[in-house]
């Protein structure tokens, strides 16, 4: 569909060149396991889930690198793009009413990481970038002619692109006979925001980069892990220093109608607990967000996830993964995930993951890693 192609073009146009190769799905292994990772991530992917895991590695691990991890997710469960196409082809009052209140999202990102296991202080140096794009119609409710109302209606978009560079530091210790690990991640963030307003008949959105703002910030992640044999319990806190980010704002004339735009994006702490059974050839883990991420205050995009995942390792050569996740902050469908890992000679690993919520909401990710 032409409109869908234009929306995907928006994703590539809405971010600077250094971020285009990024995806929100940072780790294909975790994505395949329902997005879990607070207790099940490896020391290479620890910064993206729980920095305390940076200190949890095998004795023969000397170093490792993740180069790169890429992914994308797409969600149009409201069928917004189809409804825009219908209104453009045949304007009607019913079509405009169905379109009103819908929204669509495209998220993508990527990461690289270099893990340095160490008995004193384990470290992981990483770079990460992700982009969140959301679009929603602004329907004209005045007048009675659906053709005129369609010409005065618009699509508003808002995007945020976050790049991060940091180092995770962690220490394993035994305290009162209990096995514990604690970690912290100081990081530098560069945050870009973009906004646009376009008529329904001109939904290419190629000018979105004209309304761009950027700012730099320092932030912190922290985490903890307890384990006894294969049983684990963990806690992570991401973006502990909250920020309210204002996008560009203004007014646009669409078909003789004045439309205001301007949004606030909340980058706030996210606290997650996890528990699981992590053995050599089988893993089962569950993560739950304690609080809700608000994100764009003017959009219905709140997130509070429940995630569960499993992994079966066949002779350390092939890993079969599956999972489930659901956004508890909204009345939305759950998402099924699956993936496979290939690790010939247990030196280089290729991980592939896919997620499916509905024909209008799915995603995929891939990453390469090597350990020495």
pLDDT in tens, 125-139: 999 999 888 889 999
pLDDT at 62: 86
Nearest residue to 308 (alpha-carbon basis) of 332, 290, 283, 287 = 287
Best CA proximity match to 1, nearest among 67, 62, 89, 73: 89
Task: Give the length of the chain.
Answer: 372
Assign 3-class secondary structure to the chain: CHHHHHHHHHHHHCCCHHHHCCECCCCHHHHHCCCCCCCCCCCCCHHHCCHHHHHCCCCCCCCEEEEEEEEEEEECCCCHHHHHHHHHHCCCHHHHHHHCCCCEEEEEEEEEEEEECCCCCEEEEEEEEEEEEEEEEECCCCCCCHHHHHHCCEEEEEEEEEEEEEEEEEEEEEECCEEEEEEEEEEEEEEEEEEEEEEHHHCCCCCHHHCEEEEEEEEEEEEEEEEECCEEEEEEEECCCCEEEECCCEEEEECCEEEEECCEEEECCEEEEEEEEECCCEEEEEEEECCCECEECCCCCCECEEEEEEEEEECCCEEEEEEEEEECCCCCCCEEEEEEEECHHHCEEEEEEEEEEECCEEEEEEEEEEEC
pLDDT of residue 229: 92
Asked whether the beta carbons of 198 and 84 are under 8 A apart, the reply is no
CA dist 85 and 11 (Å) reads: 19
d(CA 182, CA 196): 43
CA distance 38 to 30: 10
Q: What is the CATH number of the domain that holds 119?
A: 2.40.160.60
Q: At what angle do helices 2-13 and 80-89 cross, to 10 degrees?
A: 120
pLDDT of residue 16: 36
Contact 312, 280 (CB under 8 A): no
- The torsion angles phi and psi of 193, rounded to 5 degrees, stand at -125, 150
Count the domains in the chain: 1
Average pLDDT across each block of 10 residues of the chain; the chain has 372 residues. List them in order: 46 36 65 96 95 93 90 90 90 93 89 94 96 90 89 91 96 92 97 89 63 90 96 97 90 92 90 96 97 85 93 94 94 92 86 94 92 80
- Residues 265, 130, 355: CA angle, nearest 5 degrees: 110
Is the previous residue joined to 259 through a cis bond, with omega within 30 degrees of 0? no
pLDDT 10s digits, 258-310: 999 998 988 899 999 999 999 989 999 999 999 998 888 777 788 999 999 99
For 313, the domain range is 2-371
Q: Would the pTM count as exceeding 0.85?
A: yes
Give the pairing of strands 282-289 and 264-267.
unpaired
Of 14, 251, 295, 297, which Cα lies nearest the Cα of 154?
251
User: Distance between CA atoms of 262 and 350, rounded to whole angstroms?
Assistant: 41
User: Going by C-beta distance under 8 Å and a sequence separation of 6 or more, which residues neighbour residue 341?
Assistant: 29, 32, 318, 319, 321, 349, 350, 351, 352
**Residue located via tokens 């764009």:** 296
């Amino acid at each position: 569909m032409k409109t869908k192609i234009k929306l995907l073009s928006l994703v590539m146009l809405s971010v600077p060149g250094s971020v285009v190769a990024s995806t929100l799905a940072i780790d294909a292994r975790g994505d395949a396991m329902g997005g879990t990772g607070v207790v099940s991530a490896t020391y290479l992917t620890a910064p993206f889930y729980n920095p305390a895991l940076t200190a949890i590695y095998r004795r023969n691990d000397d170093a490792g690198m993740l180069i790169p991890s890429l992914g994308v997710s797409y969600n149009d469960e409201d069928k917004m793009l189809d409804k825009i196409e219908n209104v453009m082809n045949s304007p009607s009052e019913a079509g405009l009413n169905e379109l009103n209140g819908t929204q669509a999202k495209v998220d993508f990102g990527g990461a690289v990481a270099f893990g340095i296991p160490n008995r004193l202080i384990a470290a992981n140096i990483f770079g990460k970038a992700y982009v969140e794009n959301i679009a929603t119609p602004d329907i004209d409710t005045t007048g009675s002619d659906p053709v005129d109302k369609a010409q005065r209606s618009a699509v508003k978009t808002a995007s945020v692109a976050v790049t991060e560079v940091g180092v995770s530091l962690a220490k394993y210790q035994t305290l009162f006979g209990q096995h514990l690990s604690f970690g912290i991640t100081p990081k530098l963030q560069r945050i870009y925001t973009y906004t646009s307003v376009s008529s329904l008949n001109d939904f290419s959105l190629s000018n979105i980069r004209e309304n761009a703002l950027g700012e730099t910030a320092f932030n912190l992640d922290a985490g903890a892990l307890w384990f006894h044999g294969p049983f684990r319990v963990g806690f992570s806190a991401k973006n502990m220093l909250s920020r309210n980010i204002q996008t560009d704002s203004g007014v646009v004339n669409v078909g003789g109608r004045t439309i205001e735009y301007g949004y606030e994006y909340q980058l706030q702490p996210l606290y997650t607990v996890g528990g699981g059974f992590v053995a050599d050839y089988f893993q089962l883990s569950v993560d739950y967000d304690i609080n809700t991420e608000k994100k764009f205050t003017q959009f219905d995009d709140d997130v509070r996830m429940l995630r569960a995942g499993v992994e079966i390792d066949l002779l350390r050569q092939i890993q079969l993964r599956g999972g489930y996740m659901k956004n508890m902050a909204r009345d939305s469908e759950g998402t099924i995930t699956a993936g496979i890992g290939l690790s010939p000679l247990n030196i280089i690993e290729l991980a592939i993951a896919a997620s499916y919520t509905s024909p209008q909401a799915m995603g995929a990710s891939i990453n390469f890693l090597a350990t020495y």
